[in-house]
């Protein structure tokens, strides 16, 4: 450890993994949309793998699923930070939440377009 008692090396990597696991668990427990998307991912990832006729198609079918999950987690994080600051309605708070929600919508569009182009 360095002078500030912060972990380094392997211990730092281990701690980062623990924090990530806590984040996944918290998002899963508190966000309905994320739970739905996780269960859809569990179903769609194997389907995407099986339906892809090449390695490139498999990647193109699977990656958008992870993009949706990532963007949903970022959306949840933005909402949590905004709510932490104040639960009162504020124009900028609504602006931030709406943009994060729009990002989720765009990630879903990426998913739908990619799957449609490859499978239809």
- Return per-residue pLDDT of the chain as tens, 120 residues: 445 778 888 999 999 999 999 999 999 999 999 999 999 999 999 999 999 999 999 999 999 999 999 999 999 999 999 999 988 889 999 999 999 999 999 999 999 999 999 999
Two tokens, residue 117: 């182009």
Predicted pLDDT of residue 1: 46
**Active-site residue, 79 included:** no
Burial 50-68 (b: 16+ CB within 10 A, else e): eebeeeebbebbbebbebb
**Number of continuous H segments (helices) and E segments (strands) in the chain:** 4, 0
> Quick count: other Cβ atoms within 10 Å of Cβ 49?
13
Catalytic residue among 31, 57, 72, 79: 72
Predicted pLDDT of residue 8: 85
| Alpha-carbon distance values, 99 to 29, 30, 42, 119 (Å) | 23, 20, 27, 30
Distance CA 94, CA 116 (A): 32
């Amino acid at each position: 450890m360095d002078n500030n008692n912060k972990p380094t090396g392997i211990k730092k990597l281990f701690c980062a993994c623990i924090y990530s696991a806590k984040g996944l668990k918290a998002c899963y427990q508190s966000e309905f949309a994320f739970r739905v998307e996780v269960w859809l991912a569990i179903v769609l990832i194997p389907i995407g793998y099986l339906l892809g006729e090449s390695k490139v198609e498999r990647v193109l079918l699977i990656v958008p699923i992870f993009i949706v999950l990532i963007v949903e987690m970022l959306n949840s994080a933005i909402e949590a930070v905004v709510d932490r600051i104040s639960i009162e309605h504020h124009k900028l708070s609504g602006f931030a939440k709406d943009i994060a929600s729009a990002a989720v919508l765009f990630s879903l569009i990426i998913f739908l377009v990619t799957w449609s182009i490859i499978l239809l």
